[in-house]
């Protein structure tokens, strides 16, 4: 997959402060904010601040510091949202098969309720 980053995507605009967001956590390399169309009682998106299109792009090209920050940001959001005990689900949609809508790498955190099967049937 090619990873040409398009900085007109909606998450790039959020990172530049051009459109508002409901921030849950803001770290040196990552931003977490509530999904505008929540699919569960808790639905938070975590994005790296760097210009990465997909999970594989991020894993390949981000620095160790960016990857550590991102990984810990996800766990910190789960802790703050009270999801650790009841459980939660992490999803990263990638590309065409994954139906990725926004071409800026992100992980969905879903929880706060029973989430049902992994895929729609
Ligand atoms: P994807 O399908 O790319 O994995 O998910 C993109 C997510 O971004 C969707 O769940 C969608 O609701 C969310 N989203 C799209 N536009 C905005 C926005 O402007 N603000 C926020 N907070 N979420 C958005």
**Does 108 score more than 60 pLDDT?**
yes
Q: What is the pLDDT of residue 2?
A: 63
Can you tell me the distance from the alpha carbon of 53 to that of 6, in angstroms, rounded to the nearest whole number?
A: 8
With a CB cutoff of 8 Å and minimum separation 6, the contacts of 2 are none
Tokens of 73: 């940001």
3 state DSSP class of 74: helix
Mean pLDDT within 49-69: 98
- Considering only CA atoms, give the Rg of the chain: 14
| Contact assessment for residue 66 and residue 50, using Cβ atoms and an 8 Å cutoff | yes
With a CB cutoff of 8 Å and minimum separation 6, the contacts of 91 are 107, 108, 110
Mean pLDDT for the chain? 97
pTM for the model stands at 0.97
> Per-residue confidence at 1, pLDDT binned at 50, 70, 90?
low
Whether 54 is in the pocket of ligand 1, judged by its Cβ within 6 Å, is no
Beta strand 107-111 pairing with 42-48: antiparallel
Whether 90 is in the pocket of ligand 1, judged by its Cβ within 6 Å, is no
Catalytic residue numbers read: 106
> Per-residue confidence at 3, pLDDT binned at 50, 70, 90?
confident
Q: What is the pLDDT of residue 31?
A: 99
> Per-residue confidence at 41, pLDDT binned at 50, 70, 90?
very high
Whether 101 is in the pocket of ligand 1, judged by its Cβ within 6 Å, is yes
């Amino acid at each position: 997959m090619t990873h040409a980053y398009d900085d007109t995507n909606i998450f790039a605009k959020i990172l530049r402060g051009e459109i508002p967001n409901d921030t849950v956590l803001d770290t040196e390399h990552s931003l977490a904010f509530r999904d505008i169309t929540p699919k569960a009682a808790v639905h938070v998106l975590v994005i790296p601040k760097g210009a990465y299109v997909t999970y594989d792009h991020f894993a390949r090209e981000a620095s160790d510091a960016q990857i550590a920050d991102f990984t810990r940001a996800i766990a910190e959001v789960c802790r703050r949202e009270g999801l650790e005990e009841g459980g939660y689900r992490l999803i990263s949609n990638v590309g065409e098969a994954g139906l990725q809508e926004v071409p800026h790498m992100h992980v969905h955190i879903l929880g706060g309720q029973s989430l049902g099967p992994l895929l729609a049937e």
